[in-house]
Amino acid sequence: MGKRAAQREAQRASARCRKETGRPTLLAARTPHVKPSKVQADDVSPGAEPPCCEWPLYFSHDVSRRDHLSSQSLHNSQAQSKPPVQPPPSCSPNPRDRHDQQQQQHDNQSHPALIKQPLDHFNYHHPSPSCAAILENGHVRRIHHYAATTLWPAFGHQILSSNETLASAFFRLSMTDDLLLNSFIWPAALEMSLHCPASPENDAIMLTCQNRSLCRVRMHIENDTVNDSVIFAVLAFTISATNPGRVRNEIPRKRDEEEREGSCFGLFDPPLRSLGWLDYFSHFRWAEAHVSALRRLVFARGDLDVITTPGIAEQVQSTDILQASLGLKKPNFALCQLYRHVLLHQVSVVRPPRERASVFFPEGAGQDDDDDNEEIKDLLLDMKMYCRLLDTGSGNPATSSSSSSSSWETHVYRNLIQYRLLLLPESTGHTELCRLAILIFAYGVIYPLARPEPLKVLIGRLRRRLESDEARVSTCTSKRTEFLLWVAVMGAMGAGHSNADDEAFFISLVRTILMHLQIPSLVSLKAVMMEFLWLGPACDQGALELWTQTHH
């Protein structure tokens, strides 16, 4: 009933627009004769609403639950905003929700990018007239507060010139532009629906704000006045194919048990799974038409550097990396200013000398031109430094004296690694083995997508490459064989709990190389792994399981 009530409220908003403008607004198919909800969509004041367009909303809605974090955040919002808005009921205390609440609390303590910003950073007192009209509705303010204090801070970006968080800067800007504000609100309402209780008010606001954004985008495109706000609105619409109910059902509730058994990460146990909401955004459904439109709009403007509104270029960049990672494709856009700055002035500064990557390219590896491997060597060293950052706890606010700085830099650092990995061209022989192995490590440890498909594809490719090398293990040099052992271990850990046939192949290969190198213990195996790419907290438990399997 909540879903149908929300749809009815959107119909009423559309009918009001038709009455005022004489132009219909086509929505997705609605179910007629449904009892309306208690909170009318008319409560969302139209403000300076543009004439409605005739774009359909390809969007399906469902209702869901709120986790403890969202409930507490929104309760605080009611105390700060006027007039006061009564918070919706908290989620039911069933065991599955309680476990997820505890996991979310743990994520907030251990993941710096998930720390909420205090409400003092934001000011509701000086919005533009059109934005003030939208914010008159208490449920809109509740969602807006959630976006500003919980959703956006987790993306972990920062303005270099002022050291202000992009969440804070974008909050201010959203108070001056009703297109930005509507595009700020409805994706936040969708994201809230992934872990919030049934709320027809949320769905009504989501539909209404989404429809207004569509109308305004259409108007800008027809008038050839595309600006940064339009690009952000189209970016938001790239997730408009997402069904919150379906996504919620895909996300494991008992994380410690089901994620390992669910084979998203094989035998890896990656840290910072929630950084940048990667654990949720991995499950979004992307509207390809809007993704293509976003790409064309950005290229028509010149590239990401032409976008001057704080937060938009960085969010386009981050979303593009996520979409490319899901499909194992090259990213669409060149690096924006913030990412270039971090790469040139922070990542490159701490990078060890390139000679330290020679362990990945030992003598006898068949590489004639070492210069061809400069990019992959730099990337390998950056990955080792990132793992050292995680291993020493520098990304953890509990052990870092500058947790806020560490937070956004850790996020951008991770995205830079994934971006450059996806740009590596396919190669042959030893270099291709190295490329596939570090991609598996990245998906299992550094950029842990909560989807199993990319890792499965990489495992299959690595197996096909290794099948031709397996017979030559006995003729390789010692260093080359150690490299092959590391590659085989990456394959075995990535295939764990996933594909039984691939897992058996890699376990057999690891067993063969262990016997050839006469490695007597798990400690000795880990010593070899540490020479290459390895993160103890993410890999040690899986290595123990693998060692047990190879000695049955």
In a domain, 401, yes or no: yes
Residue 415 pLDDT > 80: yes
Q: What are phi and psi of 158, to 5 degrees?
A: -150, 145
Q: Is residue 95 part of a domain?
A: yes
Are 114 and 231 in a shared domain? yes
Q: How many domains does the chain have?
A: 3
Per-residue model confidence (pLDDT) at position 108? 40
pLDDT (0 to 100) of residue 26:
34
**Amino acid (one-letter) located at 209:** C
Whether residue 469 is contained in a domain is answered as: yes
Model pLDDT, residue 113? 33
With 0-12 / 13-18 / 19 or more C-beta atoms within 10 angstroms meaning exposed / middle / buried, residue 523 is: exposed
Q: Minimum mean pLDDT among 191-200, 208-217, 535-544: which range?
A: 191-200
Rounded to an integer, what distance in angstroms lies between the CA atom of residue 88 and that of residue 512? 59
Residue 56, in any domain of the structure: no
Same domain, 302 and 398: no
pLDDT at site 512: 92
Lowest model confidence (mean pLDDT) among 2-16, 224-238, 295-309: 2-16
The pLDDT-based confidence of 88 (bands split at 50, 70, 90) is: very low
Task: Judge if 80 and 215 occupy the same domain.
Answer: yes
DSSP H helix total and E strand total for the chain: 24, 0
pLDDT tens profile 122-132: 455 578 889 98
Report d(CA 185, CA 95) in Å as an integer. Answer: 31
Q: Is position 51 within any domain?
A: no
Q: Which domain holds residue 542?
A: 339-550
* % of the chain beyond a pLDDT of 70: 68
Looking at the structure, tell me whether residues 165 and 311 fall in a common domain. Answer: yes
Q: Is residue 57 part of a domain?
A: no
Is residue 195 located within the same domain as residue 287?
yes
Residues 216-258: tens digit of each pLDDT: 999 999 999 999 999 999 999 999 888 777 777 777 655 554 5
Q: Are residues 287 and 384 in the same domain?
A: no
pLDDT tens, 39-73?
333 444 434 443 343 333 332 333 233 333 333 33
pTM greater than 0.85 (yes/no): no
